[in-house]
Amino acid sequence: MKLLLITVFSVSLLIVSCTGKDAPNPCNGIQYTVDYFKTEAIGAAANGSITINYPIGDTISYKLNTGAYQSANFFNNLAPGNYVLTIKNSRGCTDTAQITILNYGPKYALVKQVVSGFCGPCHRNGGMSGGKNFDTDSGIIVNWSRIKARAVDNIPTQMPQLPNAMLTPIDKQKIIDWVNAGHRQLD
Ligand code: HEC
């Protein structure tokens, strides 16, 4: 009787350790370097967006915060804020990424577009011509008066520097309107 009990006990122990502790976890080593493109929310509307470039494919699904999983690799109509993107593969393994959607004022959003389009490569993607880089929002905002001086008023000379690269009157007006509104991120 005593022997039988011990036998039963050791068998059940073996089963537990086999299915639980020793089973290889199918999610071990699953880690994604998430590549995404986002647009900020502009003005008072919830109009930010996130598009995932990697990982994508039939077996991958996505959710934001506590929302439901979806197969589409993009999210629209996002309010400004911090989001947790969860990525799930066909085995149910998940990985997450933290993404912040900023809030831009409509005038600043236009200026950011102008700077992104016309001030690179000299002042963008790490460019530091004249000691100025405009990759970050703060890099643009703190330099508002010099951006207006060089790209609108051409003092002391025109920016961008390339021949025939002067901004159009419409683009210059975007900078003027933002400066007059207070030259902040939310203007
Ligand atoms: C083709 C390269 C090039 C492009 C494009 C360019 N810049 Fe420059 N920028 C320079 C160089 C070179 C200097 C340093 C010489 C000088 O100040 O003229 C400079 C200097 C500056 C400075 C610092 C000096 C100062 O006067 O305060 C500002 C501000 C500036 N640029 C703004 C702009 C803006 C705004 C744009 C886009 C609308 C732009 N630049 C596009 C090459 C460029």
DSSP, residue by residue, the chain = -HHHHHHHHHHHHHHHIIIIISSPPTTTT-----EEEEE-EETTS--EEEEEEES-STT-EEEETTS--BSSSEEEEEPSEEEEEEEE-TTS-EEEEEEEE-EE-HHHHHHHHHHHHHSTTTSSTT--GGG---SSHHHHHTTHHHHHHHHTS-SSS-SS-STT-PPPHHHHHHHHHHHHHTSSTT-
Whether 150 lines ligand 1, by a CB cut-off of 6 Å, is yes
Whether 112 lines ligand 1, by a CB cut-off of 6 Å, is no
Q: Which of 32, 81, 40 is nearest to 61 (CA)?
A: 32
Whether 174 lines ligand 1, by a CB cut-off of 6 Å, is no
What is the 42 CA–ligand 1 centroid distance (Å)? 27
The confidence band for 72, taking pLDDT boundaries of 50, 70 and 90, is very high
More confident residue, 24 or 13: 24
Task: Tell which CATH classification among 2.40.160, 3.20.20, 2.30.30, 2.60.40 matches the domain 35-103.
Answer: 2.60.40
User: From atom 7 of ligand 1, which residue's Cα is the shortest distance away?
Assistant: 160
Which of 31-40, 95-104, 116-125, 156-165 is predicted with the least confidence, judged by mean pLDDT?
156-165
Domain boundary assignment for the chain: 35-103, 106-181
What mean pLDDT is predicted for residues 121-149?
97
Joined tokens for residue 3: 């022997």
What pLDDT is attached to residue 56? Answer: 95
Whether 143 lines ligand 1, by a CB cut-off of 6 Å, is yes
Whether 123 lines ligand 1, by a CB cut-off of 6 Å, is yes
What pLDDT is attached to residue 43? Answer: 96
**Whether residue 172 has pLDDT greater than 50:** yes
The confidence band for 66, taking pLDDT boundaries of 50, 70 and 90, is very high
Amino acid, single-letter form, for residue 76: N
What is the 105 CA–ligand 1 centroid distance (Å)? 24
Whether 14 lines ligand 1, by a CB cut-off of 6 Å, is no
Average pLDDT, the chain: 89
Whether 118 lines ligand 1, by a CB cut-off of 6 Å, is yes
pLDDT in tens, 36-48: 999 999 999 999 9
What is the 25 CA–ligand 1 centroid distance (Å)? 54
Predicted structure pTM score: 0.83
